[in-house]
Structure 1
Amino acid sequence: MFSKLKDFFGGYAPTGPIEYMVVGLGNPGKQYENTKHNVGFMALDILAGKMQANVTRLKFQSLCGDGMIGDKRVLLMKPSTFMNKSGEAVRSAMQFYKVPMENVLVLFDDISLEPGKLRIRRKGSDGGHNGIKNIIYLTGKDTFPRVKIGVGGKPYPDYDLADWVLAPFTSDARKQVDAALANIPEIVSLIVSGKTDQAMNRFNK
């Protein structure tokens, strides 16, 4: 499959209008780089590597890059607004490129899933995730596809949630997460190509 993916993610200069956005959620700054809450950034970096896209341009309060997935030009974004204000970056880019909500794919962490588990959804509520909550609040819509990446729940009920998601993974959990993240390019390519059902059937386990 990876040989096919290499062909699908064309290593050539992107052309045409931006038709799709893929947004990885996280917090800027080295202190957050390997934390559970930054798994959306990790996922986007893996996708960018496969697309040979440099996500280094400062625009829309984000680090941005773009490339081709099939015949679609795709904007890659890592908002630098901090998680709670992710919607500001997403809304700005959507308005500028006139991208419909249904063409905004968001990658983010989910504490309700075990480390390395994936859940693909066409739409839905925020599920208590502050980044998703802000995107829904500022755009007024929850009709965007998303890939939830499991990071595992708190070890006990009284454990502070912020401390949990802003802490790094254990070595075992990180191995499970890394294995799941390796599937992100294939998942994104399927969704952007209009094959969300196929992606869900293959990766929602």
Structure 2
Amino acid sequence: MFWRKRREEGRVSEDSWLIVGLGNPGAKYEATRHNVGQMAVDVLADRLGSRFSPHKTGSRVAEGRLRPGGPKLVLAKSNGYMNTSGGPVSALAKYFGIPADRVIVLHDELDLPFDALKLKQGGGHGGHNGLRDIAKALSTPDFLRVRIGIGRPPGRQDPADFVLRPFASGERESLAVLLEDAADAAEALVEDGLLAAQQRFHGRAK
């Protein structure tokens, strides 16, 4: 209903995309598995030559275009915690006039092996509280997702503890490539659409 009203008012942007990297704020969390989405958005910002700065919606935002005359990208990292990602994402979407089907969320995924990527639109949250909160705040689950595999914890380690730990030393070389691929996947969603991007990136794990 909200987006229909915005379109009727002519306030929905037709060439802009909101790309959100999920994570928790502060140095304590920035290198943890749960923040892999924010790490990938940092890669995108570097490519655009753009820096994140505070935005009144409660996020840090960087803006740019993939190419001259190309789609505008609004990159965002919430100043709040993962479980409360919905409010900032919804506020940004409304501020920039971006409908839910042009929102791309990059996030960690326990159900994928480390170094795997999967792309989807809509569906459930799989126990991911950040996705749950975003779907609630947008009043729809039909945003796009770049699911970045971090794997399951070893042995009987609690998944809640696992996601808040840094990547192992043996994973860090592959992590750099994974982040570049996740950034590539977000760009492909914008430029080529979901199906073409899925065909390119699914099954890319080593």
Equivalent position amino acid for 1:106 in 2? V
Q: Which residue of 1 aligns with 2:185?
A: 187
In the alignment, what sits opposite 2:158? 160
Q: How far 1:18 sits from its partner (Å)?
A: 6.7
Structure 1 unaligned regions, length at least 5: 1-15
Letter in 2 for 1:139: L
Amino acid at match of 2:80: T
Q: Which residue of 2 aligns with 1:12?
A: none
Distance in 2 between residues matched to 1:185 and 1:160, nearest whole Å: 29
Contact 1:47–1:184 (Cα < 8 Å) also in 2 = no
> Do the aligned partners of 1:110 and 1:149 also contact (CA within 8 Å) in 2?
yes
For the pair 1:52 / 2:49, whether they are aligned, the reply is yes
How much has 1:44 moved relative to structure 2? 0.4
1:154 match: secondary structure: coil
Matching of residues 30-179 of structure 1 within 5 Å = 30-70=27-67, 71-156=70-155, 158-179=156-177
1:128-170 C-alpha deviation (Å, 9 max, x unpaired): 11110100111111111110001111212x4222211000111
Which amino acid in 2 is paired with 1:202?
Answer: R
Q: Report the more deviating stretch, 30-39 or 92-101.
A: 92-101
Paired residues in the alignment total: 189
Take 2:56 and 2:169, find their aligned partners in 1: how far apart are those partners? 34
Unaligned runs of 5+ in 2: 1-12
TM-score, normalised to structure 2, is 0.86
Write out per-residue CA displacement over residues 99-156 of structure 1, whole angstroms, 9 at most, x where no aligned residue: 1100000000001111111011122211111110100111111111110001111212
1:20 maps onto 2:17 in alignment: yes
Decide which of 189, 197, 200 is 1:199's aligned counterpart.
Answer: 197
- AA aligned to 2:123 is G
The one-letter amino acid paired with 1:192 is V
SS of the aligned residue for 1:141 comes to coil
TM-score using structure 1 length: 0.87
* Alpha-carbon displacement from aligned partner over 1:20-69 (angstroms, at most 9, x marks no partner): 10000000000001100000110000011011111123331111110012
Residue 171 of structure 1 and its aligned partner are, at CA, apart by 1.3
Q: Find the aligned partners of 2:178 and 2:56 in 1 and give their Cα distance.
A: 29
Percent pairwise identity: 34
Map Cα deviations across residues 61-117 of structure 1 (whole Å, 9 max, x no partner). 111110012411111100111000000100101111221100000000001111111
- Which residue in the other structure is 2:9 paired with? none
Deviation at 1:17, TM superposition (A): 7.8
In structure 2, distance between residues paired with 1:78 and 1:167: 19
Task: Please say which of residues 43-52 and 120-129 is displaced more in the overlay.
Answer: 120-129
Find the aligned partners of 1:99 and 1:111 in 2 and give their Cα distance. 29
Name the amino acid aligned to 1:29: G
